[in-house]
Amino acid sequence: MLKFPVTLLAALWFVSQVLLPAATPERPNILVILADDLGYGDVQCNNPQRGKIPTPNIDKLAAQGMRFTDGHSSSGVCSPSRYTLLTGRYHWRTRLQSGIVSAFGEPLISPDRMTIGTLAKQQGYRTACIGKWHLGMDWPMTKEQRALLSPARQPDDEVSQASKKAKKAAAAAAVATEQQLAVWRDVFSKPIAGGPTTRGFDLYFGTSVPNWPPFCFIENDHTVGIPTEFLPAQLMGNNQASQQGPAVKDWKLEGILPALGDRTIQFIKESAQKKEPFLVYLPLTSPHTPLAVNPQWKDKSHLNLFADFVMETDAVVGRVLDALEKSGAADNTLVIFTADNGCAPYIGVQELEQMGHYPSGPLRGYKADAWEGGHRVPFIVRWPGVVKPGTVCGQLVYQADFLRTFADVFAVKLPDTAGEDSFSLMPLLKGGDKPIRENAVSASIGGTPAVRSGSWKYIPAPGSGGWGKGGDQSQPVQLYNLADDLGETKNLAAAMPEKVAEMRVQLEKLITDGRSTPGAPQTNDVEVRRFPAGPDSPAKRKRK
């Protein structure tokens, strides 16, 4: 019998346990939690010095896994970020060059586009989407019927002269006519095509947009109940609902978030008892408006209503993770927590900053901006047996990367027509610290791109491109080195024209190639809008 020295055996053990990457568990369950309008600095572990909102459950998740400090959404606003997270493709390759999908808007994800749901289903996973969709559906209504979904409007000249008090009174007086009720009964009794159950998910439960009509839950492809009244005026404005429209009787905004938690817990319990693995996409409706905080959470933060809602959101995350643990599935579940964009400035940001809480942490800007505060977001991954607990990664990562990461988990290759901007996180999750992507592009609400190349950031426009104020309007473009200027305070564009030119060429290539990953060139859905605007823009030069 061969004998090995103790020191050699110890060395072999060290190599196998520490230096070699962990073996990947087979077919793990996947849980993706997407918070809505949660700033990078709203999570305590991201912002210990300038964050005043307790987030114990999200912090615990980070302590059990890996926290990314340079993780991004595709946009500073909602719909485009959701598109990219689900498809692994930049939203600006679609018709959505700016803004968000409108109320009762058409589907943004094409029927043949692979999502994380369709990929998982191909591998035998049971899939669910529970929460806010906001990517459009094919609502069964005519143009004439659509006009009857809103209260009768005053002529524009009267609206312009009306006081806020008069407008509020008009909203309070809104009563559905018999004609409107008949249309609602017709429209909301029919199946809704083009929703989550047609884009890779076996099950859907949630709201299309919580602050917009219809004010009811949607389960799979039907509304839960038929709206019979306009949403009461007292639930409008003041960071509650923002568009008046059809509502089921006695609709309570406060009930939305707890119901999403309950349904997710139910799905996890049921799925844990089945043979097939599961994928849950949980796009929370919070802490986005409506700031419908339940009584037990009001004034808990001692800051403002938004901060209370962040705490309630953290509690729902905790409930879901506890249910995962109790189901026995936690040890074989890959959990991702992130947010669709930064904190919205209109929820009392100035007030919060005066009290010592900075929702963007050290970053410049907020929701809608091309500056970092618009799209650098909380980004946490827990995967027992693969991700070392308590680790922090500073590499550039994007929500687009989820699709190819899951393909690696399943050991399958994506076709050239899927995940065109998705890079696998797997090397980083297994402990590596080399860049997985050379560049990335996010965008403001107005479509202004924020281009990353390593630590360099190029914005081909003055200002934030969104709602943020400030910026030297005399400088047509911006260039920052985030390695030593995370707050984007020193615009180097005038001093470094060669770097600006290099970044501009890189952006144009990313557009014209139709992809940023290796593979066959692809076609964008539309002609991509170019920046900076003006006679010398790349788009103008291309047409000459």
pLDDT, residue 20, reads 41
User: For the segment 298-354, what is each residue's pLDDT rounded down to a tens digit?
Assistant: 999 999 999 999 999 999 999 999 999 999 999 999 999 999 999 999 999 999 999
Name the one residue in this structure whose structure tokens are 């290099």.
Answer: 502
Q: What is the pLDDT averaged over residues 18-32?
A: 69
Residue 23 has pLDDT above 70, yes or no: no
pLDDT, residue 498, reads 98
Sequence-distant (6+) residues with CB within 8 A of 142 are: none
Please classify residue 79 by burial: count the beta carbons closer than 10 Å to its beta carbon, then call 0-12 exposed, 13-18 middle and 19+ buried: buried
Name the token pair of 14: 């060290």
Positive/negative CA dihedral, 440, 37, 39, 394: negative
CB 413 within 8 A of CB 407: yes
Banded pLDDT at 253 (limits 50, 70, 90): very high
DSSP 53-83: S--HHHHHHHHTSEEESSEE-SBSSHHHHHH
| Rounded Cα distance, 300 and 81, in Å | 30
- The radius of gyration of the chain's CA atoms, rounded to the nearest angstrom, is 24
DSSP helix, strand, coil percent of the chain (3-state; round to 5): 35, 15, 50
pLDDT, residue 394, reads 98
Return the H-helix or E-strand segment holding 494: none
What is the reported pTM?
Answer: 0.92
Q: What is the pLDDT averaged over residues 78-88?
A: 98
The strand pairing partners of 168, in sequence order, are none
| Rounded Cα distance, 143 and 161, in Å | 29
Sequence-distant (6+) residues with CB within 8 A of 345 are: 366, 367, 467, 468
Write out 321-370 in H/E/C secondary structure. HHHHHHCCCHHHEEEEEEECCCCCHHHCHHHHHHCCCCCCCCCCCCCCCC
| Rounded Cα distance, 313 and 285, in Å | 9
Banded pLDDT at 153 (limits 50, 70, 90): low
- Greatest Cα-to-Cα distance within the chain, rounded to the nearest angstrom: 97
Cα angle vertex 70, ends 500, 80, to 5°? 80
Q: What is the pLDDT averaged over residues 24-41?
A: 92
| Rounded Cα distance, 39 and 361, in Å | 8
pLDDT, residue 252, reads 97
Lowest mean pLDDT among 146-155, 191-200, 433-442, 525-534: 146-155
Name the token pair of 119: 């990929």
Strand pairing of 218-219 and 203-207?
Answer: antiparallel
Instruction: Give the residue with greater pLDDT, 384 vs 4.
Output: 384
Q: What is the pLDDT averaged over residues 504-525?
A: 98
pLDDT, residue 16, reads 42
Domains and CATH numbers, the chain: 27-133+248-436 (3.40.720.10), 441-543 (3.30.1120.10)
Classify 478 as helix, strand or coil. Answer: strand
User: For the segment 163-215, what is each residue's pLDDT rounded down to a tens digit?
Assistant: 555 555 556 668 999 999 999 999 999 999 999 999 999 999 999 999 999 99
How far is residue 194 CA from its own chain's centroid? Answer: 20
Sequence-distant (6+) residues with CB within 8 A of 261 are: 316, 319, 320
pLDDT, residue 22, reads 44
Banded pLDDT at 24 (limits 50, 70, 90): low
Interaxial angle between packed helices 56-63 and 305-326, expressed in degrees from 0 to 180 and rounded to the nearest 10: 50
User: For the segment 432-468, what is each residue's pLDDT rounded down to a tens digit?
Assistant: 999 999 999 999 999 999 999 999 999 999 999 999 9
pLDDT, residue 26, reads 75
pLDDT, residue 535, reads 46
With pLDDT > 90 as the criterion, what percentage of the chain qualifies? Answer: 87
Q: How far apart, in Å, do the first and last CA atoms of the chain sit?
A: 81
Residue 490 has pLDDT above 90, yes or no: yes
pLDDT, residue 471, reads 77
